[in-house]
Amino acid sequence: MFEAVFQGIIMGLILSTFCGPIFFMLINLGVTSPLKSVFYLAFGVFLSDTITIFLLLYVALGSISELKHLEILYYIGGAVLIYFGSRNLIKKPVIVEQDEISQKTLNKIFVKGFMINSLNPTILFFWFGAMMLAFSTYHNDKSLVLAQFITGLGVTLFTDCLKGYSAFHLKKYIKPSFLNVLNKISGLIIIGFGMKLIFFH
């Protein structure tokens, strides 16, 4: 069990180093919005990861060929990323004070995190590969596999919150001109991820 928990920590830390679209959204939210918005995005991603792992464990794990039918996810995921990236390019960034965000906006942020993570095939294949490796390591012992992935999910959630939390506490040092550049850069990077998913997967 100790090995499963340790491997889960390593797996979560590896995933947290991915500089994907969620990473840039967490940083962007951290410097432009109240701290709770970061947590809503992180929990949206967490729910997406949890559902993905559950589906892989109980539905898709038995046949790798089933993943071939998920080709459309590349195009849908790419389109979603391009949409959100374009919004970053167009929208003028404004730093929002702690009490100026509505529950409706927070819910939208939660859904955005869930959607983008769910429609990113890279995340799906990461979890699938990690799960196949875990089943091989623990000789198909589901309890140990679950222990590893529950730990990995916890570490991923913690590090996502930490990224946004760090950005939030740095925003007092950030000038509006820098924030505008950051918004444009994150938008271009997110669009780049979308284009990569569509044309170079």
**Average pLDDT of the chain, as a whole number:** 77
What pLDDT is attached to residue 111? 92
Place of tokens 């997110």: 190
| Contact status, residue 30 vs residue 171, Cβ threshold 8 Å | yes
Tally of CB atoms within 10 A around 198: 16
Query: For residue 120, what is the DSSP state?
Result: -
What pLDDT is attached to residue 64? 46
What pLDDT is attached to residue 166? 83
Give the global pTM: 0.71
Cα separation, 148 vs 141, whole angstroms = 11
Place of tokens 């780049």: 192
Report the Cα–Cα distance between both ends of the chain, in Å, rounded: 36
- Per-10-residue mean pLDDT for the chain, 201 residues long? 80 71 80 84 92 77 51 71 76 59 86 86 75 73 82 90 82 67 75 78 61
